[in-house]
């Protein structure tokens, strides 16, 4: 996993868009974003299960984002994942194969931080943070999605509704308190 400021240059969302300005773990932690690597070696399932128990994740599924799997819906789906939004639950992903980019908004500056993920990376994006996702140029990502309750994925796209959402307000309070 590698984090850096997004370069804001036009071009395919699947490109690295690397500004060459690295973002350290302390900055991510200040945003309540957590990330670590659990190598896909023997025993990784038990390590992932331990994280799930510790964080009270009760359910999981596996999602594969690829041209082969999504067919004609592929381009539409990746554009939808890339639209800026929040969730009312943490978004936790453990990458099994392929790779992509999670972009998160730095609350204090409204700038994008890009987090490049690949196999073995585990990322926790807090409820209420503006973010988006895209696969990388390999056009495939497979991930375990972990959920506290029933599996759901409801995006609340950026606007008046998301800005007034209690999860967004709580998130902003939590990062202000940490500053």
Q: What CA–CA distance (Å, rounded) separates 143 from 156?
A: 21
- Among 15-19, 68-72, 174-178, the range with the most confident prediction by mean pLDDT is 15-19
Question: Exposed, middle or buried by CB within 10 Å (0-12, 13-18, 19+), for 62?
Answer: exposed
Of 125, 177, 141, give the one whose Cα is nearest residue 3: 125
Rounded to two decimals, the pTM is 0.95
- Range with the lowest mean pLDDT among 5-9, 151-155, 168-172? 151-155
Which pLDDT tens digit goes with each residue over 132-148?
A: 999 999 999 999 999 98
Under the banding of pLDDT at 50, 70 and 90, the label for residue 101 is very high
Under the banding of pLDDT at 50, 70 and 90, the label for residue 154 is confident
Taken in order 61, 62, 64, 68, the sign of the CA dihedral is negative
Specify binding-site residues: 85, 87, 91, 131
Specify binding-site residues for Ni(2+): 85, 87, 91, 131
What is the pLDDT, as a whole number, of residue 83? Answer: 97
Specify binding-site residues for Fe(2+): 85, 87, 91, 131
Of 138, 146, 91, 147, give the one whose Cα is nearest residue 119: 138
What is the pLDDT, as a whole number, of residue 159? Answer: 96
Could you give the domains of the chain? Answer: 2-178 (2.60.120.10)
Over residues 113-120, the mean pLDDT reads 98
């Amino acid at each position: 996993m590698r984090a850096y400021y997004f370069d804001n240059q036009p071009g395919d969302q699947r490109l690295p868009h690397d500004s060459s300005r690295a973002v350290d773990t302390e900055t991510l932690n200040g945003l309540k974003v957590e990330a670590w690597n659990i190598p896909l070696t023997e025993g990784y399932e038990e390590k992932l299960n331990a994280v799930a128990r510790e964080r009270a994740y009760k359910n999981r599924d596996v999602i594969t984002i690829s041209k082969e799997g999504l067919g004609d819906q592929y381009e539409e789906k990746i554009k939808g994942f890339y639209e800026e939004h929040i969730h009312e639950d943490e978004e936790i992903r453990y990458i099994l194969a392929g790779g992509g980019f999670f972009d998160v908004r730095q609350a204090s500056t409204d700038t994008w931080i890009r987090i490049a993920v690949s196999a073995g990376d585990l990322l926790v994006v807090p409820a209420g943070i503006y973010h988006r996702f895209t696969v990388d140029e390999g056009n495939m990502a497979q991930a375990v999605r972990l959920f506290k309750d029933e599996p759901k994925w409801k995006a609340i796209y950026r606007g008046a509704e998301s800005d007034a959402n209690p999860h967004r307000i709580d998130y902003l309070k939590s990062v202000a308190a940490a500053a």
